[in-house]
Amino acid sequence: MGFASQLVRKVCIATYEAEMNIAIHSHGGEIILIVDDYTIAIQIIDRGPGIANIEQAMKAGYSTATNEMIEMGFGAGMGFYNMQKCANVFKLESKKNEGTKIDMIFYIECNED
C-alpha cells in the first residue's frame, strides 16, 4: 500500500503489544484493522478480566504478568506505554469481568520517512 516504513514499524509494534496482552491476560479477543486515505485504525477487544487500575497499568514498567510469562520473556510492563507512544490517538476502556477495548489511530500523513 506504499506506507512509510516508520508508520509500518509503529503500527506493528503497537499491534504486537496488543496481541501479546490478548494472549497473556485474556481468554481471547479480536483485532480489527480499518485503513482509509488518512488513517490506520486498530481496535482491540479482549475477553479478559478487565483492568482494575487503568492509571497504574499505563505506567511504564507496571505488569501483572505471571511468573511463567516473565520466565518466557514477556511481562516487562511496557505494552500500554508502547502502544500509546506509537499511536497518534490511544484510547483504553476496561470493565471488571467484561474485558478491555483499545482504539488506536495512526495518521498516515504524519508518519512519512
- Our count of domains for the chain comes to 1
Which residue range(s) make up the domain with 46?
Answer: 5-107
Distance CA 35, CA 106 (A): 10
> pLDDT tens-digit profile of 22-31?
988 899 999 9
Evaluate whether residue 37 is within a structural domain.
Answer: yes
CATH number of the domain that residue 46 is part of = 3.30.565.10
Closest CA to 30 of 48, 12, 13, 4: 48
pLDDT in tens, 28-51: 999 999 999 999 999 999 999 999
pLDDT digits (tens, 9 = 90+) for 82-109: 999 999 999 999 998 899 999 999 999 7
Q: What is the largest CA-CA distance in the chain?
A: 43
Q: For residue 112, is it within any domain?
A: no
Q: What pTM was computed for the model?
A: 0.85
58 is a domain residue: yes
Cα(23)–Cα(90) distance, rounded to whole angstroms?
20
SS3 42: strand
